[in-house]
Amino acid sequence: MNILIFLVPAALLLGLLGLAAFLWSLRAGQYDDLEGAAERILYDDDKPDDDEPGDGRRKD
Amino acid sequence: MSEAATAQERPGIDPDLFVRRTEEGLARLDLVVAGMHCAGCLRKVEGALKGLSGVEYARANLSTKRVAVRWDPARLEASAVIRALADTGFAAVPFDPKLIGTLDDRESRSLLKALGVAGFAAANVMLVSVSVWSGLVSDMDETTRSFFHWVSALIALPAIAYAGQPFFRSALKALRAKSMNMDVPIALAVILATTMSLVQTMVNARHVYFDASVTLLFFLLIGRYLDVQARAKACSAAENLLGLRATAATLIAPDGTHKSIAVENLEPGMKVLVVAGARIPADGEILTGTSEIDTSLVTGESVPEQVKAGTSVFAGTLNLGAPLVIRVTKRDDDSLLAEIVRLMETAEQGRARYVRIADRAARIYSPAVHIMALATLILWFTLGAPWETSLTYAISVLIITCPCALGLAVPVVQVVATGRLLRQGVLVKAADGLERLAQADTIVFDKTGTLTLGQPRLVNGDEIARADLALGAAIAAASRHPLALALTAHGQSLPHPLLDDIHEEPGMGLEARLGGETIRLGNADYAGARATHEQGHGGSELWLRRGSDEPVCFRFEDTPRPDAKSVIAALKARGFAIELLSGDREPAVKRLADELGIANWRAAARPAAKIARLEELASEDRKVAMIGDGLNDAPALRAAHVSLSPADAADVSQTAADFIFQGAKLAPIVEAVDVARKSRRLVFENFGLALAYNAVAVPLAVAGFVTPLVAAIAMSSSSVTVTLNSLRLNLAQRRALSRKAS
């Protein structure tokens, strides 16, 4: 059963990683606009810097 | 007059007032863009803003309908930002995020953090617990079990200390106030179970309860988070409505220049310009100008009041006729607004005594649970069991009866109900608003702006010759006065004669020429009419005089909301007593009451009289729902058991009301009542379900048959049952919608 000495901390570490990721995403404002994020995914422009209004790819 | 005449158009809100500086020296502006509904809108708004040179950051939030923009102030002006949005077809209104509360945001964020921690702990503790449970029936040795218990303790203790805070704090607050709420038994069960488990771990016992306390917290936090989130959504929508009407006053500086100023910054003695169609920003006295003022939002009076230099005017009234220059006066203690504020403060005390259903249940429930747990302890101890076993059984009783389902029963129903109403255009602002609305048995309506639209309509069109009607409509088309607009709308289909030299005499009427004859449309004096022909008419009048002919009278009345009659009937069918309490004059109130079939009505009621009537009803043990929009209704909205207000109501009233409904129809009221009553039934059903669970589980726990595994399963399944039952509220609506569609 000595393997547990490694496996349990490993499981905990992975869990903590998940928790850290969640807290990070919360701080980064990813939960501020749930509806907007769902809609934004529909756009296929990879480079948000050069999205000029009225470029040919816009579909609305 | 000269100063007043210069501004012809209503100025928009000056966005510069709302611009703030960021640390990097950029200008920052927050906007409400109400028309933003889909991905396309989001894209257009952000695209238009990012297309401006100088804009560094633009991000739209589709959930709250707000946009944050940051730009380089050297390269761009705030008005250009608004204009860019206007060009793409979106009306943007600046707001101050400091004024619009961000408090709820912080609360929901800290709850979400606690939820994340509790979720992590619940998953990992369960991972360990399941191993221990399976170890009980297989060959796990004592060392491994002890190791697992310590691991659980290591995860659970910090997690409970962190994630349990919302409950501990609330329980402590209740205990300090010597009362009971739902959080007292929750906190007690969590703390007892954790302490007990820690002791059990130290003495190397077989059962620990870390899993139960952590999952309990996890489930309860879900309920609490959903509750806060739903209310935050409704509140932010309500704040947007208020923000949309944020207005700035036009200040006339001593040197004669005009500039925009925030209404809060107005000081006594300042001179402000109020153009036609704008609301008067502060209490004051008219210096120059003659006009008519619509005071319906303040007094409920539907007929405009004539004002001239020297008249006192109140903040919130609407200038109809011509530009006015007003000197801001200090708020006198006997002014209407001061009276309303005073009444509101005293009226609020009654509302604070209401205790939520969940907390009322807790008052009976928690002593019962605690006594039962104590009885179990004593029973087993006197029967000769060792004290650890006795205590373990007592804690099983506590955990199994812990109001997990109860804590979830109310919030889940609330969330589903609030969401359903939000889609129908009803914003639930008060946390306990639905509960109170479900109790209401009497509905008191205000008249002007609530049962009516606050827009005049021509009532004697049939008695007037077609030629006069056409002439009146033609000349009225030159004015934006509400009566003129109503007349134009009525005579739209008629052929208009061609008129020359149309001009408006502010506060009096219109004059024009038709083939050498002078035509006048305006008040009785202006048209040269004698005193009103007909007594008892409650609305406004316009007179038309052609040359030296006898003047013709156009009579107007306020329009009832399109579905007022059917809504009143629907509410009566649901067993409500209906009453009409208006500040307007008797004939107008009586006519509307007769038309809508309301037997109980009172006219010319001042704010204090409205409150007095509500108190009278309350003393008869009636639960009153007050529906009103005016400033004069605000104290009554606070005093009533529950209150609703339309979205175009005065700011103060919207703040005072528990519900806000949008749109020109009254039907949302019926919907709100139905949803509130259904929610209450569901909450009671949920309580019933939870009690049924307890009725089965508690005897088992008292008898000592409940292991941690059984407790965890019983607890989760009762929570899931309660949640599923609550979701039926949404199902019922879907079915109703699909029935309507087919």
Chain B partners within 8 Å of A14 (Cβ): none
The pLDDT assigned to A54 comes to 42
Cβ contact, residue pair A60, B44, below 8 Å? yes
Chain A partners within 8 Å of B147 (Cβ): 4, 8
Chain A partners within 8 Å of B141 (Cβ): 1
B620 to chain A, any CB pair closer than 8 A? The answer is no
| Most B-contacting residue of A14, A35, A40, A45 (CB-CB within 10 A), to test interface | A35
Cross-chain CB nearest to B144 (options A4, A40, A54)? A4
- Distance, in Å, from the CA atom of B353 to the CA atom of B54, rounded to the nearest integer, reads 54
A4 to chain B, any CB pair closer than 8 A? The answer is yes
Of B672, B679, B607, nearest in space to B643 by CA: B672
Chain A partners within 8 Å of B156 (Cβ): none
A60 to chain B, any CB pair closer than 8 A? The answer is yes
A20 to chain B, any CB pair closer than 8 A? The answer is no
Cross-chain CB nearest to A60 (options B40, B128, B143)? B40
Sheet holding B291-294, edge to edge: B305-307, B291-294, B318-319
Cross-chain CB nearest to B61 (options A11, A36, A42)? A36
- Cα nearest neighbour of B116 on chain A: A19
Cβ contact, residue pair A22, B116, below 8 Å? yes
- Distance, in Å, from the CA atom of B612 to the CA atom of B380, rounded to the nearest integer, reads 59
Q: Please count the other Cβ atoms lying within 10 Å of the Cβ belonging to residue B44.
A: 21
| Most A-contacting residue of B52, B59, B61, B132 (CB-CB within 10 A), to test interface | B61
Cβ contact, residue pair B63, A34, below 8 Å? yes
Chain B partners within 8 Å of A26 (Cβ): 109, 112-113, 116
Sheet holding B552-560, edge to edge: B452-458, B552-560, B540-546, B517-522, B509-514, B500-505
The pLDDT assigned to B720 comes to 79
Q: Please count the other Cβ atoms lying within 10 Å of the Cβ belonging to residue B147.
A: 16
A44 to chain B, any CB pair closer than 8 A? The answer is no
| Run of H or E residues at B56 | strand B55-61
Q: What structural domains and CATH numbers belong to chain B?
A: 1-98 (3.30.70.100)
ipTM of the complex: 0.73
Give tens-digit pLDDT for A8-39.
889 889 989 999 999 999 888 888 787 788 88
Chain A partners within 8 Å of B155 (Cβ): 12
Cross-chain CB nearest to A26 (options B40, B112, B123)? B112
Chain B partners within 8 Å of A18 (Cβ): 120
Q: What residues contact residue B146 under an 8 Å CB cut-off, 6+ apart?
A: B201, B204
CA distance A33 to chain B (A): 5
Cβ contact, residue pair B47, A51, below 8 Å? yes
B597 to chain A, any CB pair closer than 8 A? The answer is no
Tokens of B332: 């006198």
The pLDDT assigned to B742 comes to 55
The pLDDT assigned to B670 comes to 92
The pLDDT assigned to B672 comes to 92
Residue listed under structure tokens 């101890």: B381
The pLDDT assigned to B573 comes to 92
A3 to chain B, any CB pair closer than 8 A? The answer is no
Q: Sign of torsion, CA B284 B285 B290 B295? A: positive
The pLDDT assigned to B192 comes to 81
Cross-chain CB nearest to B39 (options A26, A39, A53)? A39
Of B293, B297, B296, B298, nearest in space to B308 by CA: B293
A31 to chain B, any CB pair closer than 8 A? The answer is yes
Strand boundaries in B622-663, DSSP class E: 624-627, 642-646, 659-661
B60 to chain A, any CB pair closer than 8 A? The answer is yes
Cross-chain CB nearest to B42 (options A23, A26, A40)? A40
| Run of H or E residues at B458 | strand B452-458
Cβ contact, residue pair A52, B44, below 8 Å? no
Residues B90-119 as b/e (b if ≥16 CB within 10 A, e otherwise) read bebbbbebeebeeeeeebbbebbbbbbbbb
B112 to chain A, any CB pair closer than 8 A? The answer is yes
Cβ contact, residue pair B63, A12, below 8 Å? no
Chain B partners within 8 Å of A35 (Cβ): 62-63
Cβ contact, residue pair A36, B113, below 8 Å? no
Tokens of B477: 């088309």
Chain B partners within 8 Å of A11 (Cβ): 124, 127
Cβ contact, residue pair B120, A18, below 8 Å? yes
The pLDDT assigned to B677 comes to 92
The pLDDT assigned to B528 comes to 76
Tokens of B493: 């289909």
Reduce the DSSP state of residue B642 to 3 states and report it.
Answer: strand
CA distance A42 to chain B (A): 8
- Cα nearest neighbour of A38 on chain B: B39
B141 to chain A, any CB pair closer than 8 A? The answer is yes
A45 to chain B, any CB pair closer than 8 A? The answer is no
- Cα-flanking dihedrals φ and ψ of residue B38, to 5°? -140, 180
* B375 to B379, B386, B394, B474: CA distances (angstroms): 6, 15, 8, 87
User: What are the catalytic residues of B?
Assistant: 446
A11 to chain B, any CB pair closer than 8 A? The answer is yes
- Distance, in Å, from the CA atom of B697 to the CA atom of B691, rounded to the nearest integer, reads 10
* DSSP single-letter state for residue B140: -
Mean pLDDT by 10 residues, chain B (742 residues): 34 68 84 80 86 87 84 86 85 70 68 92 88 76 86 93 91 83 78 85 82 84 80 73 66 82 77 82 84 76 79 81 82 62 65 67 75 86 82 74 69 83 83 87 88 82 82 82 82 79 77 83 78 57 82 83 90 92 84 88 84 88 88 84 86 82 88 91 86 82 72 73 82 65 56
B142 to chain A, any CB pair closer than 8 A? The answer is no
